[in-house]
């Protein structure tokens, strides 16, 4: 989703000191039981379960973080030892592209294995002057070969590097891209939020010149969608599933809502479109397990764009069983509630661990919903993408991070 909050978070964010609140003569004494080695912070939850009567509790789920060891981001925050099977013995994380004046790396990450590039969209709405009701957002790419080369030059310390970001010159039929997956048949599969009266749409867009683009859906029986948000291809049936959200309206670049915020299934061969899940306040990120039997959909109700925040609303990932026949999403249950910000884009690794872009970085849960750890950035990540063996590319609005770990994603290309 477009995150107005991310801009604010940069201004207001401060590292939150969770304190094991021992009181000595009235002073609150910081006693972190940190286990620090390199970029790893191991957190023993038992040390922080009681803040005490003089504890400094968080007031905001968005602008304050849980960083009890007061470590400097980026780092890996380990809550469960099995996070080491995600990280491997020698993980690293660093900034590989940044532009403090432009939120160029928001959502719609797609890895192109042929050219070893990652494409992504800039923030759509919510960053005044860059994209709004009168101005489209941008889809761009970086080369991971450039990243690997720059890392070799930089040596072992994870110092920031800054590779070239190249804009893709898509036609005006691609308006306010917010979600993406694939590639599908060699093209990016993008969902667009639309802009003003221009319709939200699902498009296939060739990432190579001359950037041929084909709109494959822009209405539900003649009605415009609200502002399409995210998309995945079901791993076995190959049907296209996408979410619709109110953020075009909430960020004032789309008219008021015309449909409930819900999840759709689109059969690209028959043209059939139907609803598979509803009951969301703001349906947002979507992903499937590798076997296609479980679907994850986030509800990011906390963030109401220009209309503010409500931290008592869901910031929640729901899990569903995918009905083998109808592919409706059944047996809705809470999978995880994110402690910070909203869980935005979702991706899974080959071990069914679930990754979501949250207010403090990327949070990772196992398939039972146990929080294993975080790729702690100290700022918003809206989405991320696995890019081959042990490489995770994290979009963080005005920066892109590159993590070298043990986990890998599965093939999203069809």
Q: List interacting residues with ligand NAG (CB under 6 A).
A: 35, 42, 98-99, 162, 185, 204, 216, 268-269, 281, 301, 304, 310, 313
The kind and range of the H/E element at 86 are helix 83-87
Shortest separation between residue 74's beta carbon and ligand NAG, angstroms: 15
Least distance between ligand NAG and beta carbon 155 (Å) = 19
Q: How far apart are CA 136 and CA 296, in angstroms?
A: 29
CA 297 to chain centre: 12
Question: Smallest distance from the beta carbon of 195 to ligand NAG, in angstroms?
Answer: 22
Residue closer to ligand NAG by CB (options 113, 389) is 113
Strand partners, 139: 121
Q: How many CB atoms lie within 10 A of CB 113?
A: 13
At 296 the three-state DSSP class reads: strand
Residue 106 has which token pair?
Answer: 């928001």
Give the separation between CA 138 and CA 122, rounded to whole angstroms. Answer: 5
Smallest Cα–Cα separation from 411: which of 254, 238, 277, 199?
238
Two tokens, residue 37: 């080695």
By C-beta, is 19 or 163 nearer to ligand NAG? 163
Q: Tokens 């968005």 appear where?
A: 62
Q: Minimum distance between the CB of residue 76 and ligand NAG, rounded to whole angstroms?
A: 13
In the complex with ligand NAG, the residue whose CB is nearer, 161 or 354, is: 161
Min separation Cβ 54 and ligand NAG, Å: 26
Residue placing its CB nearer to ligand NAG in the complex, 147 or 354 = 147
Task: Specify the 3-state DSSP secondary structure of 330.
Answer: strand
Which of residues 17 and 102 has its CB atom nearest to ligand NAG in the complex?
A: 102
Q: How far is the CB of 404 from ligand NAG (least distance, A)?
A: 19
Residue with smaller CB distance to ligand NAG, 172 or 269: 269
């Amino acid at each position: 989703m477009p995150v107005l909050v991310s801009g604010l978070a940069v201004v207001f964010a401060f590292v939150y000191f969770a304190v094991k609140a021992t009181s000595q003569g009235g002073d609150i004494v910081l006693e972190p039981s940190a286990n620090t080695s390199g970029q790893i912070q191991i957190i023993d939850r038992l040390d922080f379960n009681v803040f005490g009567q003089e504890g400094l509790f968080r007031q905001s789920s968005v602008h304050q973080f849980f960083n009890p060891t007061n470590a400097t981001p980026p780092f890996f925050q380990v809550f469960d030892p099995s996070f080491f099977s995600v990280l491997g013995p020698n993980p690293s994380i660093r900034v590989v592209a940044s532009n403090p004046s432009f939120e160029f790396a928001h959502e719609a990450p797609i890895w192109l294995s042929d050219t070893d590039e990652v494409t992504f969209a800039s923030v759509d709405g919510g960053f005044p002057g860059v994209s709004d009701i009168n101005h489209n957002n941008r889809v761009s790419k970086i080369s991971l070969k450039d990243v690997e080369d720059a890392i070799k030059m930089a040596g072992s310390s994870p110092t920031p590097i800054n590779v070239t970001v190249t804009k893709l010159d898509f036609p005006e039929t691609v308006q306010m891209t917010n979600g993406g997956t694939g590639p599908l048949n060699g093209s990016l599969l993008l969902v667009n939020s639309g802009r003003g009266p221009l319709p939200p749409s699902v498009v296939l867009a060739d990432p190579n010149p001359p950037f041929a683009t084909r709109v494959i859906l822009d209405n539900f029986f003649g009605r415009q969608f609200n502002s399409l948000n995210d998309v995945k291809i079901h791993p076995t049936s190959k049907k296209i599933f996408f979410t619709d959200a109110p953020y075009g309206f909430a960020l004032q670049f789309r008219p008021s809502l015309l449909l409930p915020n819900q999840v759709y299934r689109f059969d690209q061969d028959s043209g059939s479109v139907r609803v598979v899940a509803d009951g969301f306040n703001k349906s947002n990120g979507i992903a499937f397990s590798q076997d296609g039997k479980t679907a994850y959909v986030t509800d990011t109700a906390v963030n109401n764009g220009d209309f503010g925040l409500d931290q008592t609303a869901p910031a929640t990932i729901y899990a569903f069983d995918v009905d083998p026949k109808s592919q409706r999403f059944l047996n809705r249950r809470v999978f995880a509630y994110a402690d910070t910000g909203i869980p935005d884009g979702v991706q899974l690794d080959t071990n069914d661990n679930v990754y979501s872009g949250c207010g403090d970085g990327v949070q990772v849960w196992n398939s039972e919903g146990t929080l294993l750890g975080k790729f702690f950035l100290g700022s918003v990540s809206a989405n991320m993408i696995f890019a081959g063996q042990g490489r995770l590319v994290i979009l963080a609005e005005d920066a892109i991070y590159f993590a070298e770990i043990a986990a890998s994603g599965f093939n999203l290309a069809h």
